[in-house]
Structure 1
Amino acid sequence: MTTFIPSITLPAAVFANPYASILLPIACGTAVGFSVQPKETQKSYMALKQPPYRPPPYVFGPAWSVLYGLMGFAAYRAYNTGMNPFASTEKHLLTKQGATLYTIQLGLNLIWMPLFFIAKRPIEATVDIVALTGVTGYLTYIWGQVDPVAGWALAPYLGWLGFATYLSAGVGYLNDWDTASKEVDSPPSTKAKDTKYVDEK
């Protein structure tokens, strides 16, 4: 059971406004994505050994934009349903607890990419995404009790996090938990047999 912690929770005005609620995670996710230099990130991604079923790099941007939007929509739905004057005291409590969990999960979400691609710390990044998945699972359960639509809106995000956890752990394991200095500008030629680029075609 978690509790409502105002000092680490996003302001109520963010949750109450549909535009702010939906656009905030999209804007934050986009800002973090650009801050890690996408071209450099793609080089690193190309150079790493990958587990089966990993998607191509261009899938991640659109997928995360949709998931961030659903996340913000869920926050708006849950908060406005649960904080309605006619809602029960229990729903009020669950909504406020969920607001704290939502803020925590957003923070955990936003630090994964810098941990993995900038700091090149796959162990810490995997621990982060495992924690993120756990917090989001609990949030989905709590806000699902407040408003089923909010719970279902978080379901695709939770499912993607499960897949992303597999990818993060898989990449870490296949690369001996060392992703530092593994990048190339282009696929290797036949003469460059010592490259670390992984050609999976």
Structure 2
Amino acid sequence: MTAYIPSITLPRFLFEQPAASIILPVAAGAAVGYSTRPDETQKTYRALRQPPFHPPAWLFGPAWTTLYALMGYTAHRAWSIGANSVNPATVALAKQGATLYTIQLGLNLVWMPLFFSLNRPIAAAVDIVALGGTVGYMAYVWGQVDETCGWLLAPYLGWLSFATYLCVGAGYLNNWDLKSAKSAKSAKSAKTKKRN
């Protein structure tokens, strides 16, 4: 069971201020997305063999932006309700959730570089499974602070389940070797262009 660990938890003001709570994950997610070069990420996504029901690459940006804003709002709500409670157990749960929130945000933000920049699908799969478990536990903890907070994290958990399927599916279908899959697709495209 994870406890409240102040040294690894985001500062209180990021939970107390609604704008900061929402802007932080949206801005951090956008920064990671742009740092991994969206044009290269989309090329990689299209080059890989994908499992059935994979969405178009353009869908990920709007989906993650919405989920980041929702998780930020949930963090603010859970902290505000929990920190202002007269029940010490509720206060402790709100703080414990804040530590879990910080951990899950870190796990979330490292997935994209692991998968797309470093071409480490096994590490990315381990990361996303750990992320799903952390978010599930966070939903349980913050759901005890405020039931609505638990439910607000349901879309995030649903998307993470789907993203885990996509991550593991793409890893498996490409023999857990993304570099070779991208190289093979580039070579095939070059041959096709020469023929035309």
Band the TM-score falls in, shorter-chain normalisation: over 0.9
- SS of the residue corresponding to residue 176 of structure 1 reads coil
- In the other structure, the counterpart of 2:112 is 113
Distance 1:69 1:40 in 2: 25
| 1:138 counterpart = 2:147 | no
- SS of the residue corresponding to residue 176 of structure 2 reads coil
Aligned-pair CA distance for 1:188:
4.2
- In the other structure, the counterpart of 2:93 is 94
How many residue pairs are counted as aligned between the two chains? 191
Aligned partners of 1:21 and 1:72 also within 8 Å: yes
Distance 1:90 1:169 in 2: 38
Structure 1 unpaired stretches of 5+: 194-201
- SS of the residue corresponding to residue 51 of structure 2 reads coil
Aligned-pair CA distance for 1:2:
1.1
Post-superposition CA distance 1:23-45 (Å, at most 9, x none): 10000000000000000111111
Post-superposition CA distance 1:37-60 (Å, at most 9, x none): 000111111110000000000000
Partner amino acid, structure 2, of 1:21 = S
Partner amino acid, structure 2, of 1:72 = G
Distance 1:188 1:5 in 2: 51
Post-superposition CA distance 1:40-85 (Å, at most 9, x none): 111111110000000000000000000000000000000000000x
Post-superposition CA distance 1:119-169 (Å, at most 9, x none): 000000000000000000000000011011211111100110010000000
Distance 1:20 1:147 in 2: 20
Distance 1:151 1:72 in 2: 13
Distance 2:2 2:10 in 1: 16
- In the other structure, the counterpart of 1:161 is 160
Distance 1:57 1:141 in 2: 31
Q: Which moved more, 1:153-162 or 1:86-95?
A: 86-95
Percent identical residues:
62
TM superposition outliers: structure 1 runs of 4+ over 2 Å: none
Distance 2:35 2:15 in 1: 26
| 1:73 counterpart = 2:73 | yes
Post-superposition CA distance 1:94-131 (Å, at most 9, x none): 11110000000000000000000000000000000000
Give the structure with the larger helix fraction: 2
Provide the alpha-carbon RMSD of the alignment. Answer: 1.8
Matches within 5 A, 1:179-190: 179-181=178-180, 182=182, 188=189
Partner amino acid, structure 2, of 1:145 = Q
Structure 2 unpaired stretches of 5+: none
Partner amino acid, structure 2, of 1:111 = V
Aligned partners of 1:21 and 1:73 also within 8 Å: yes
TM-score with structure 2 setting the length: 0.93
- In the other structure, the counterpart of 1:8 is 8
Distance 1:87 1:33 in 2: 41
- SS of the residue corresponding to residue 3 of structure 2 reads coil
- SS of the residue corresponding to residue 130 of structure 2 reads helix
Distance 2:161 2:92 in 1: 28
